[in-house]
A and B are shown apart, each in its own frame.
Chain A
Amino acid sequence: MLVAIAVIWEGGKALFALPDYQLPHLHQIAADFLREGAGGELWLWIMTQNAAYTALESLIGFTLGGVTGLVLAVGFAHSRWLERGLSPYVVASQTVPILAIAPMVVVWLGTSWFSKAVIAAYLTFFPVTVNMSRGLRAVDPDALALMRALAASSRQILFKLRFPASLPYLFTALRVSATASVVGAIVGELPVGSRYGMGVVIINAAQYYNWRPANLWAAILVCAVIGIAFYHAVAAVERRVVSWSRTTASI
């Protein structure tokens, strides 16, 4: 797969005679990691530090958004009124471009990791709310009738039936959210004032793009790696938690 990508990359570059500033060679991107930065540190080390910072923000945002999404979903599933009252705002929140909101959040909450985590959470909670409230409702009527026949309390129905039954729905949402939270954290780092993170690296690399295009490509590569790692971490947890399901996707 990686070989195929490399062939297409270099082949495309040769075929369309793309200059380096449009599409650098793969070896140039690789070499950029081994170049020394302004402070004398290797770019590999600089990237790693910033990536770790972004990953941490994403993780906090992912957790925050996941919990928010879950709470909203349980609320919606329990009360039609709550759903009717709140869901228009939940939907509206996602129609506003994150790029427009991010600077305001940074102004309100400061340039620390917290504002980035909040932006990551903002992108995370929505898929969880939508999928989870569907999952909580999509319970087999006979499975509910059984609970009723066994005189179960509504608490028992939630924790012993609705919640476990909707775990596959939750994990589908978390897979989407995992990558979205990384995007959110990076977007949160873009506004002026931030000092660490891949967003900052991207802004700087973009400014020097004409001079050193490979740097931006390297940054993009690192961001992709964070997103993929998050996705697979969620998938791994899913395989453990939802091991009872035949339908746990392998992708």
Chain B
Amino acid sequence: MASPIIELAGVAKTFESRAGATEALRAISLAVEAGEFVSIIGPSGCGKSSLLRIVGDLVEPSSGTVRVNGKSARQARLDRDYGIVFQTPVLYDWRTVLQNVQLPLELAGRQRAEREQRPRALLRLVGLDEFARHYPWQLSGGMQQRVSIARALALNPSILLMDEPFGALDEMTRERLNQELLQVCAETAATVLFVTHSIAEAVFLSSRIVVMSPRPGSIERVVPVDLPRPRGDKTRAEPRFFELVTLVRECLREDRARASA
């Protein structure tokens, strides 16, 4: 078997502040294989966002090792191996939609032809080619987040890191974007690490769900999702879908019970 795309071994994180030390993550070990869609779910404050940022080398782990694409997390970041989507769209106000998607190509010093063509293709992929010349504030929240997904795909990364990308959206928009995201993933064959606090979203999207315990966050359980692909509206109505949702919910509840005991 090929080596995992993302590999965490004994990762821990303690934040130091004037108020004292906060242990956010404890002994996280996880391997994500190529093409997998792995969701991380857990109560708020369990350090799931920190975990994602550690993989992206945006936060340093206090201990443990992180390998991404067979390299150190830092080297993978410098090689621009991953695309990232944050909870908020983080679009630059002074750039049009198209220019925002061009940003990664610009920073990487890509050729002009690629800088022109690839963002247009990506905007088509997320259904926003008509809005290329608009400024971010002229778009709805859901549209902005689609732009930010297109931007994450600009350099055709093999890995996508997504930090609650649909958390701020209404349920209808979220379900539609979930569907679009699956299509994008199928087309790009990217490996995805996806942080969420929505159980239904995690079940719908993932090949595996990592359930985390409350602070200090550690891996409580890994739930494989055996729903067939391609998934669509029918998937949400299948009995197996509800079983898995219930299973994940129970895992989360056990956590909470143990934490309060």
Contacts from A to B (Cβ < 8 Å): 140, 142-143, 145-152, 156, 160-161, 164-165, 167, 242, 244-246
Residue of B nearest to A149 (CB): B84
B94–A146 CB distance below 8 A:
no
Let me know if B82 is at the binding interface, CB within 8 A.
yes
| B80 contacts chain A at the CB level, 8 A cutoff | yes
Task: Known pairs A149-B58, A151-B80, A165-B92; list 15 more (Cβ under 8 Å).
Answer: A145-B58, A146-B86, A147-B107, A150-B107, A150-B108, A151-B108, A152-B107, A160-B92, A161-B92, A164-B94, A165-B94, A167-B94, A244-B93, A244-B95, A244-B137
How many positions in chain B have a CB within 8 Å of any CB in the partner chain? 24
B88 contacts partner chain A, Cβ-Cβ < 8 Å = yes
With A156-B107, A160-B103, A246-B137 already in contact, the answer to whether A149 and B90 are too (CB < 8 A) is: no
Known contacts A143-B92, A161-B92, A167-B94; A150 and B58 CB within 8 A of each other: no
> Which 6 pairs between the two chains have the least Cβ-Cβ distance?
A164-B94, A244-B94, A149-B84, A142-B90, A151-B78, A152-B107
Q: What's the least CB distance linking A167 to chain B, in Å? A: 7
If over half of B's interface residues share one DSSP class (helix, strand or loop), that class is named, otherwise mixed; here it is loop
In the assembled complex, the Cα of A246 lies from the Cα of B136 at a distance in Å of 10
Look across to chain A and name the residue whose beta carbon is closest to the beta carbon of B93.
A244
Q: A142-B86, A142-B88, A244-B135 are in contact. Are A148 and B77 (CB under 8 A)?
A: yes
Q: Could you give, for residues 44-84 of chain B, a 1 whenever the CB lies within 8 Å of some chain A CB and a 0 otherwise?
A: 00000000010011100000000000000000011110101
> Across the A-B interface, how many residue pairs have beta carbons closer than 8 Å?
56
Smallest Cβ distance from A28 to chain B, in angstroms? 50
- Please determine whether B56 and A149 come into contact, CB atoms closer than 8 angstroms: yes
In this assembly, does B104 line the interface, its C-beta being within 8 Å of a C-beta of chain A? yes
Would you call the interface of chain A mostly helix, strand, loop, or mixed?
helix
Q: How far is the CB of A114 from chain B (nearest CB, A)?
A: 36
Q: How far is the CB of B109 from chain A (nearest CB, A)?
A: 10
Interfacial chain B residues near A244, Cβ < 8 Å: 93-95, 135, 137
* Contact between chains at B86 and A160 (CB < 8 Å): no
Interchain CB contact (< 8 A) of B107 among A151, A242, A245, A246: A151
Q: For the complex, is B254 an interface residue (Cβ under 8 Å from A)? A: no
Contact of B250 with A by CB under 8 A:
no
Q: Does B106 belong to the interface (CB within 8 Å)?
A: yes
Chain B residues with CB under 8 A of A145: 53, 58, 84, 86, 90
Tell whether, in the assembled complex, residue B90 and residue A143 are in contact, meaning their CB atoms are under 8 Å apart. Answer: yes
Q: Which residues of A contact B103 (CB under 8 A)?
A: 150, 160
Most buried by B among A149, A152, A167, A245: A149
